[in-house]
A and B are shown apart, each in its own frame.
Chain A
Amino acid sequence: MIGAACLALWSHWRRHKLQLATLLAGLALATGLWSAVQAINGEARASYDRAAAQLGAGQWPELRPRAGADIPLETYVSLRRTGWRLAPVLEGNLRLAGRSVTVMGVGLLTHPALPAVEAAEGGDGLAPVEVLTPPGRLFADPGLAARLEGNTDLPPVLPSDAVPPGTLLTDIAVAERLLDRPGTLSRLLILEPPPPGLPPLSELAPDLDRVAARGSGDIARLTDSFHLNLTAFGLLSFAVGMFIVHGTVGLSFEQRRGMIRSLRAMGLPLGLLARLMLAELALLALLGGGAGLILGYAVAGALLPDVASSLRGLYGAPVEGTLSLRPGWVLSGLGMALAGTGLASARALWRVAHLPLLAAPGMRAWGGSAAAMRAMVAAGVALILAGALATWLPGGLLGGFLLLGGVLTGAALLLPPLLSVILAMGARMARGPLAQWVWADMRAQLPGLSLALMALLLALAANIGVGTMVSSFRLTFTGWLDQRLASELYVAARDDAQGARMATWLGDRADAVLPSRSVERRHNGAPIFVYGIVDDPTYRDNWPLIAESPGVWDALARGEAVLINEQMARRDDLWPGDTVSVLPDWPLRVAGVYSDYGNPTAQAITALPALLERVPNLPNQRFGIRIAPDQVDDLARDLRADFDLPPGALVDQAALKAQSMAVFDKTFLVTGALNVLTLGVAAFAMLTSLLTLWTQRLPQVAPLWAMGLTRARLARLELLRSLALAALTALAALPLGLVLAWALLAVVNVEAFGWRLPMFLFPLDWLRLFALALLAAGLAALWPARRLSRLPPAGLLKVFSNER
C-alpha cells in the first residue's frame, strides 16, 4: 500500500516536471541567498575571532587612558613597581605601501604568548636578540609581507599566517620607532589581579580606566550593524523564495486532490497519507536546500572579496577574501530549507488533512473571506504600529530594524485588502458585462495571487528604499567630496625634513599650502584623530559643516574652539556650544560639526599653532596645495623632479575623488547585487502563482468562451489583469519604499555608521523600476496566457463535461 501510494504521489511530479523544477528552484533560491549571506557573515566573524586570538585581543582586562591621551611609559613603570602585573601595548596606524597598516607593538618579554612569535621561535629558532634589539623584526600576514618586501626603511618582515591581515605585530621598541611615539603606550593588559593592600587605582593612576575583558573585541561590535544589514537582506530573500515554495506546493496539492480522494477511497489511512506527503516534502526540501547551499556557496564566494574590502574600508576590520566551508553553515542552511518548506506547506497539508472525502474542488481555491481580510488589516496595522513603537522602545539599531520589519510585513499584509477595495471600486465604475466580469474576476483571483503580489511589493519596496538610500548617499558623498577635497593637489613627503623643505619650496609657487598634521589619541576609549589646520579661506568657503555656532572660523583660528566630525558628535552627543577635551587638560568649545563619511573613527579639527603648543612633534609630511587648475600639471612635474617623489606621493584632486568614489561604489556593490536577486525571485514567485491559478482558472474562463469570447481575447485579458495587479502593487510599493528609505537614512545609518544623510528622490529610478515590475509581471503572465490562447476548444469543452 505504502509503495503504491508513493508511486502515485511521485507520478504527479513525473507528469509535472516543470512544477518540480519550480519548487526545487524556489527552495534553492531561498536557501541559496540566505546561506550566502550567512556564509559571508560567518567568514567575517571567523576572521575577527581569528584576529582576536592571534593578537590575544580582549582576553584580559585592561587599563586604558581616560581622556584622549596616551599612557606615559612612566605610569606603566610606576604601576609595575607598586605590584601591578601588566603587559604594555602600543598601537597606531601607519601608511605603508599605499594603504593604512595597524602597528601593534607589545612588550615581547612580558606579553602573553602570541601564536606568530611562538611559531617563529619554534621553527626558525628566532633568537631573542633578533626580536628585542634594533632593528628588530616585524610579523605580518604573507600578503602584507610580500607588499612590504624591499622596503628598506623597515626592519625585516617575517611572513606569518598567525597575524591578521593589515597588521604589523612587533616589539614595542620597534613600534615606538615606526610610529614616532617614544615613551608612550596605548593600553596595559592586566595579567593578574593586583595584590591586595595596594592603594586604589584612582590614586596611583587617576588618568587610567579599568576595562573588563570583553571576548572578541571592538571589531565584532563595530561591524554588527553591517552584518545585521546583510542578514536582513538574506531573510528578505528567503521570505520571497518561500512565496515560490508556497505557490508550487499549493498548486501540486490542488492538482492532486483527485488522486488524494482516490487513494483515500481505496483505504489509505489519512495519517499515513499525511506522513508520506510530509516525507515527500522533506525530501524535496533537502534536495532544494542542498542545491541552494551550492548556489549560496558560489554567490558568497563571488561577493566575499567585495564584502571584505568594504569591511576593511569602513571599519579597518581584518577580513580575508577567501571562503571556507563550515559544517554549522551546511546544517543551518538545510535546517532553514526544512523549516521554511514546512511553514510554506503547512496550509496545504492542513487542507489535505481536513479534506472531506467527497468534496469537489473549490471554486475559490484559496480562502479570501471578508473575515480573513479584516484580520489581515488588523494584523497589518498592528505590525506597523509595533514597528514604529520599536524606534523608541528598544531604540538603537535594533529598533531601526524592527521598524523596517514591522512596516514591511505590515504593509505586505495590508496589500490584499487594499487591492480588494480598489478592485471593488473599479467593479462599481465598470460599464458593460465584460468589464464588470474582468473586475470581478480580478477580485476572485486576488487571494490566489496575493502572496506573489506581497513578494513583489516587498522586493519593489526594498529596491526603492535601498536604491534611494544608496543614490542619496552617493549624491551627498559627491558633494561632500567636492567640499572636502578643495585643494587641487595633494602631496606626501618622505619625512618631516623633506616636508619642511617642501613647504618652503611651495611657498613661492602655490596660492596656498595647507599642511595636514594630526595626532592620534584616545577619547572615551576609542581612537580620535586631532588635526591642526591653518586659517585659510579654503576651509571657510568649503568645509562641509552640518551644524555651527556664529563666528566658528574666527574662534577656531584663535585656538579657542574645535570642530568635530558628525560621528563623534552623535556618539558623544556633543554639539555647538558644548565643551570637549580632545587632549588632556585642554577643554575647547565645540564650534561646529562637519560631515565625514566613510570614516569610522572620531575626528577633531583645531588651530595648528594651538595644537603644536601641546603636541610639538606633529608629523609634517602631508600638504594640500591650492593653485590655478591650469598650473597643476606644471607644478606636479616640478615637485616630482625637485624632490624625487615616488609616483604615489603626489595625487591630484580628480584622482583622489575617483579613488574615493571607487571605494564608495565597492561598498554598495553587494547591496546592489542582492537587490537585483530579490527582484528576480519576486518575478519568479509571480510566475509560479499564475501557473498555480491556471487550472483553477479554466472553469471560470470556459463559460465566457462558450458565450463567444475568442481565446485570443481571453488571453489578452489575462495578460492585462496581471499587468494591472502588478501596476497597482508597484504603486503601493512606492510610498512603502520611501518610508523604507527614510528609515534607512535617518535611523539605521545614524545607528550603524554615525551619520545622517539627507534624502533625495529619484523619480526616474522609480519609473524604471515600475517598468521592470510590469515587465516581470507581463513575462510571468505571458506563459499562462499563451497556453490559454492555444488551448484546443476541446479542452475548454471538457470543463463542462468533467466538472459541472
Chain B
Amino acid sequence: MNDRFCACLFALMLMLPSAALPQGFAGLGTEAEGFALPDPDYRLRFPEDHGPHPAFRIEWWYVTANLTGPDGSDYGIQWTLFRSALKPGEAEGWASPQIWMGHAAATTTEAHYSAERLARGGIGQAGVTAQPFDAWIDDWRMRGQDFDTLRLRAASDDFAYDLSLQAQGPLVLHGRDGHSVKSADGQASHYYSQPAYAVTGTLSLPDGETQVTGTAWLDREWSSQPLSPDQTGWDWFSLGFEDGTRLMAFRLRGGRGDFTSGTWIEANGRATALPDGAIRLQPLERTGPPNRRIPTTWSLVLPERDLDLRIEAMNPDAWMETSFLYWEGPVRISGSHSGKGYLEMTGYGEDDEG
C-alpha cells in the first residue's frame, strides 16, 4: 500500500481536512455518513469507555511522556494507537471496516526516532479491550489490570521502550463532562485524559539502554466529524508545571480565525474548562527547511491564571516520518511558570513525496 493511500485514511485521524488529498475524501471532514455523533448529554462510563467505540469514525489512545535519565538528560516518548472506521460498526475477520495504526517515537535533544504499524481490525492483529485494559498493535502493547497501572511497550529498528505507568490522580474530563467542542460550528469529540502518570522503565536507543523516570499523559478521544471545513491544522499542548498544576491547550487554525480551547487542571486533579479565546497562543520562532518550516518556540498567555509562558521545543526536528507527516515532541516551559510538556502540530510541513 502506498503512502498516499495511508495518508488518505489517516488524515482524518489527525483531524485534518484533506485539502491536499483526492476529492473522494474532502467531504468526509463534514459529513458523518451513518457514523454516531458526539452527544453533549452522554455521560462517560468507565471502564467501558476505555474500550473502542466502533460506531464512531475515529478514536485514539495517545500517550506522551517526559522522561529523565540517570545523568539528567531529557527524553520524550510517544505511543499512539489510532482507530479509523471505513464504515460504522464491527465485523468478524478481514471484513471488518476498522483500520488500526500505531505510532511510536523516542526523542532526545539530538535525535528523533519514529515508527509506524498498520493493521486491519477483526483479525486480532490490533485492538483494545476495556477490562482488563489491553491496547495493542503487532508487538506494541499497553496493558494493565485497570487504567491506573499500565505497562507500555514499543520497539522498532532503532529504538524501544518498556515503561511502567502509575496514575497519580483521577481522570480528567475535558469540555463539558468530556464533550469537547472543536469549532464555532459545533464540531466536537468525546475527550478525557489521565494527565498524571508516574513513569519508570528502560529506553533503548542506538547508543544503548537507559533507565528513565518521569511523567506521562494519556489522552482518549473519539469522534466522527471533528473539524470545520476551513480548519487546516492544529497546535496541541499538554503541559505540566513544577507546582503540580497542568494545562491542556489547543488551537485549531481556520480560515475564519483560530479556535482555542483547553483545560486547567489543579494539582489534585480538579479540572476547569477554558472557553474559546481564553488562551492566547502566538508562535515566536519558526525553524526548519522551507518545506518543513514550523513554529518551535511559542508564547502562551492565560490571563485568568496569570500565566505567561515561553514554550520551546526540546528538539526542533521532531517530525513524525509516518504515513502522514506531523510534528510531535517534548517541550520545555519557562516564563511565569516552568515545567515540561508535549506539543503536537499538524498541517504545516509538506510531505516529501508530495
Which residues of A are at the interface with B, using a C-beta cutoff of 8 A?
A: 73-74, 76-77, 80-83, 85, 107-111, 113, 117-118, 121-122, 125-129, 132-134, 171-173, 176, 182-183, 192, 195
Contact = CB atoms under 8 A, between A and B. Distances in A.
Interface string B184-223: 0000000000000000000000000000000000000000
Interface in B65-124: 86-87, 93-95, 97, 99, 118-120, 123-124
Interface stretch (B19-27, B256-264, B294-302, B324-332): B19-27
A119 to B, nearest CB: 10
10 contacts: A76-B123, A82-B139, A109-B120, A111-B1, A122-B4, A127-B22, A128-B9, A132-B99, A133-B86, A176-B93
A173 B24 contact: no
B277 to A, nearest CB: 37
Interface in B5-43: 5-6, 8-9, 22-25
B282 interface: no
Given A125-B24, A128-B86, A129-B87, A117 B95 contact: no
B106 to A, nearest CB: 15
Contacts of B94: 107, 171-173, 176
A81 B24 contact: no
Contacts of B93: 73, 173, 176, 182-183
A182 B92 CA distance: 11
A347 B50 CA distance: 91
Given A113-B1, A128-B5, A171-B94, A133 B87 contact: yes
A109 B118 contact: yes
A724 B95 CA distance: 78
B202 to A, nearest CB: 14
Contacts of B2: 113, 117-118, 121
Interface string B269-285: 00000000000000000
Given A83-B138, A127-B24, A128-B86, A77 B1 contact: no
B155 interface: yes
B139 A83 contact: yes
Given A109-B119, A127-B8, A128-B5, A77 B22 contact: no
A133 B97 CA distance: 6
A108 B1 contact: yes
Given A113-B1, A117-B2, 16 more contacts: A76-B125, A77-B123, A80-B139, A81-B125, A82-B139, A83-B138, A107-B94, A109-B1, A109-B120, A113-B2, A121-B8, A126-B24, A127-B8, A132-B97, A132-B99, A173-B94
Contacts of A183: 93
B161 interface: no
Q: How large is the interface on B (under 10, 10 to 19, 20 to 34, 35 or more residues)?
A: 20 to 34
Contacts of B120: 107, 109, 132
B124 A77 contact: yes
A232 B97 CA distance: 55
Contacts of B136: 81
Residue with the highest number of chain A CB atoms closer than 10 Å, among B5, B23, B24, B25: B5
A118 B1 CA distance: 8
A133 B89 CA distance: 12
A128 B8 contact: yes
B25 A127 contact: yes
Contact of B139 (A74, A81, A110, A121): A81
B136 to A, nearest CB: 7
A129 B86 contact: yes
A76 B8 CA distance: 26
A-B interface, 4 closest residue pairs, ranked by CB to CB distance from nearest? A173-B94, A125-B22, A83-B139, A129-B86
A85 B102 CA distance: 14
Contacts of B125: 76-77, 80-81
A253 B138 CA distance: 79
Nearest to A73: B123
B138 A134 contact: no
B1 A117 contact: yes
Interface in B137-167: 138-139, 155, 157
Contacts of A113: 1-2
A82 B93 CA distance: 20
A126 B136 CA distance: 29
A132 B124 contact: no
Contacts of B97: 129, 132-133
A393 to B, nearest CB: 48
Nearest to B21: A125
Contacts of B99: 109, 128, 132
Residue with the highest number of chain A CB atoms closer than 10 Å, among B23, B95, B157: B95
Nearest to A197: B155
A73 B125 CA distance: 10
A134 B86 CA distance: 11
B155 to A, nearest CB: 6
Nearest to B136: A81
A448 B94 CA distance: 76
A128 B118 CA distance: 14
Contacts of B5: 117, 121, 128
B95 A173 contact: yes
Contact of A81 (B22, B118, B138): B138
Contacts of A171: 94
Nearest to B101: A109
A620 B139 CA distance: 41
Residue with the highest number of chain A CB atoms closer than 10 Å, among B1, B4, B6, B93: B1
Contacts of B1: 108-111, 113, 117
Nearest to A108: B1
B201 to A, nearest CB: 17
Contacts of A73: 93, 123
A183 to B, nearest CB: 7
B95 A134 contact: yes
A705 to B, nearest CB: 86
Contacts of B139: 80-83
Given A109-B99, A109-B118, A127-B8, A83 B155 contact: yes
Nearest to B160: A195
Nearest to B124: A77
B285 to A, nearest CB: 38
Contacts of B87: 129, 133
A792 B236 CA distance: 111
A129 B155 CA distance: 30
Contacts of A118: 2
Contacts of A108: 1
B274 to A, nearest CB: 36
A134 B95 CA distance: 7
A134 B92 CA distance: 12
Contacts of B119: 80, 109-110
A134 B93 CA distance: 12
Nearest to B86: A129
A122 B5 CA distance: 9
A647 B2 CA distance: 43
A22 to B, nearest CB: 59
A129 B97 CA distance: 8
Contacts of A182: 93
B4 A80 contact: no
Contacts of A107: 94, 120
A257 to B, nearest CB: 72
B31 to A, nearest CB: 13
A195 B156 CA distance: 8
Contacts of A77: 123-125
A537 to B, nearest CB: 44
Nearest to B141: A81
Contacts of A133: 86-87, 95, 97
